[in-house]
Structure 1
Amino acid sequence: MLGLLLLQVLSSCLWLGHGEVVTSFASCPQFFYGGTFPNDVLKPQNPAYICQRYSNSYHYATLYDRARRIPVYSAYKYKPGSAPRPHTWWFVEPQLINKNSLKDMERESVLIDQHKFTLDQIKASQAVLDDYNKRTDLDRGHLSPNGHQESRESKTATFTLTNIVPQNSSLNKGQWNIYEAKTMPKMSKGCTTTYVITGAVPGNSYISDNRVNVPSHIWSAACCLVGTQPKKAWGVIAENDKNQVENLSLGDLEARLSRLYRGRTVTLFNNACPRK
């Protein structure tokens, strides 16, 4: 009996060592201030906790909804860098497919041609490129944008469909882009470290034969540290069918999300981050 128990424990440890899609963000807590994660109100029924790994390094963290095939949120440190925008190909997450030893995100074509996965296996638990093709009204909207990352590797790592939601094209190219490219640099000026969590509220409509959910809202929250102390925080939210972004305090954003999640209290950051 003892031998069997030890074998089961050993098997569990070996499986945990094979991948970064596990039951928590224990492998990548550095993307959350104070190691504090958003509370479970945002947790979907069939979640995947992804430590987004590319080129043998972690670059941000994503809570993914396998059933709706969109991320709930991505968390990262705001470190815009001068590295050029990377290639335009897109990745998927092999660890969402089944138990395998592939740790890094990979292209669909590589998984099919070199690792003998089928497209149906990939599609079972995540979005694929075909889900977004031929859509002119909806963009592949990043939650962790490449422009907020420092290195070429980190920028490349944002081009995975587990970091993407169907986002209104005019919003993505308009006011949301202004927030990412102009407002964030102004708001984070003087911050030693800025922690960011950007997410999507699931909506009532789907694309691609009801495979991929279209969020009703896109939101983002930030907590700014000067030295090691949080000094200010802020948030924004946008309805996904309008080209408008509303600026809020962190506390007001959490209150808005709480209403959108049927009155259940949402907390995004460690309590030390200012709510007003």
Structure 2
Amino acid sequence: MLGLLLLQVLASCLWLGHSEVVNSFTSCPQFFYARIPPNDALNPKNPAWICQRFRNSYHYATLYDRDRRIPVYSAYIYQPGPGSRSSSWYAEPQLINPTYSRDIDTEKSISNRYKITLQQIGQSQAINQDYNKLQGLDRGHLSPSGHQSGNNSRWATFTLTNIVPQNSTLNKGQWKDYENQTMAQNTQGCRTTYVITGAVPGNTYISNNRVNVPSHIWSAACCQTNTAMKTWAVIAGNNMNQVQNLTRAQLEANLTQLYGRGQVSLFHSACPP
């Protein structure tokens, strides 16, 4: 009996170590400062922890809301560099079936490889069709391609598990300014910058109530400089072109109220409030 139990535990450990969509970020803790992800206060009812893998490498981590078909947040290391944007959008095979490939792939490739329909892919996640007729909304990256270096890392951000319906004016306006300009300024002197960008679920949906439209988009960063740790944060209502600068503690207080699932903690305590 004890031998059988040990075998079950060993099998469980092997599964956690070799799976893409699991019950924690066991396979990719490197995208969180001190390898500590946010606490459970952000967790939805039906979560999926995704180590975003493309061409045999992990590029960032995503907590995904299976019911609302949007990411809760994506966590990544800020390292902008050369590379192109992807011409394709990808889906997550292991959200469909845990025995499928660990690498993100196109809907067509997944459908052909596993002999399944587009509707079967869409049962577990958003698909391209959901975003085809957006009005006043864009495909908003949580982990943006411009914060990555090299084609593989940049293309890995073009998965629909990293996308939310984002207000077009905001996405092309102040949020873009934050991603491109403010981040470059704030990260000066940082050795490694850890970023967590998320979306607060809203009350409206697109694509026949399949995909939630967030009420807010938010982001927080923590980095080590030569002399100290520093953090910064922002939040934006997803219905206007305005980004509010906050401290980490202010953002966590806001998210605690907005999510209503308990006190939110985004970073290890070494990151200042």
- What do residues 157-189 of structure 1 show as CA deviations (whole Å, max 9, x unaligned)? 000000000101111011100100111000111
Distance 2:262 2:88 in 1: 38
- 2:67 aligned residue: 67
Distance 1:50 1:148 in 2: 19
Question: What secondary structure sits across from 2:180 in the alignment?
Answer: helix
Distance 2:3 2:225 in 1: 52
Specify the code of the residue in structure 2 equivalent to 1:245. V
Distance 2:98 2:14 in 1: 11
Distance 1:64 1:96 in 2: 10
Contact 1:105 1:160 in 2 (8 A): yes
Specify the code of the residue in structure 1 equivalent to 2:237. E
- 2:257 aligned residue: 259
- 2:21 aligned residue: 21
Question: What secondary structure sits across from 2:41 in the alignment?
Answer: helix
**CA-CA distance at 1:100 after TM superposition:** 1.6
Question: What secondary structure sits across from 2:177 in the alignment?
Answer: helix
Specify the code of the residue in structure 1 equivalent to 2:51. C
Contact 2:91 2:105 in 1 (8 A): yes
> 1:246 aligned to 230, 234, 244, which one?
244
- 1:123 aligned residue: 122
**Percentage identity across paired residues of the two chains:** 64
Distance 1:167 1:265 in 2: 26
- What do residues 213-252 of structure 1 show as CA deviations (whole Å, max 9, x unaligned)? 110000000012125x752110000000001000111111
Specify the code of the residue in structure 2 equivalent to 1:206. Y
Q: Unaligned regions of 5+ residues in structure 2, if any?
A: none
Distance 2:106 2:218 in 1: 28
Distance 2:260 2:48 in 1: 22
Distance 1:273 1:17, change over 3 A: closer
**CA-CA distance at 1:14 after TM superposition:** 5.3
Distance 2:229 2:11 in 1: 45
Specify the code of the residue in structure 2 equivalent to 1:32. F
Question: What secondary structure sits across from 2:194 in the alignment?
Answer: strand
Matches for 1:70-149 after TM superposition, within 5 Å: 70-83=70-83, 85-149=84-148
Specify the code of the residue in structure 1 equivalent to 2:201. P
Distance 1:167 1:97 in 2: 25
- What do residues 115-156 of structure 1 show as CA deviations (whole Å, max 9, x unaligned)? 312212211110000000011311110000000001211001
- 1:51 aligned residue: 51
Contact 1:230 1:274 in 2 (8 A): no
Question: What secondary structure sits across from 2:114 in the alignment?
Answer: coil
**CA-CA distance at 1:87 after TM superposition:** 2.5
Contact 2:130 2:207 in 1 (8 A): yes
TM-score with structure 2 length normalisation? 0.95
Q: Unaligned regions of 5+ residues in structure 1, if any?
A: none
**CA-CA distance at 1:13 after TM superposition:** 4.7
Contact 2:17 2:26 in 1 (8 A): no
Quote the RMSD (CA, aligned, Å). Answer: 1.6
How many residues end up aligned between the 2 structures? 273
Structure 1 runs of 4+ with >3 Å offset: 1-18
Distance 1:41 1:112 in 2: 35
- 1:208 aligned residue: 207
- 1:173 aligned residue: 172
Distance 2:98 2:254 in 1: 38
- 2:233 aligned residue: 235
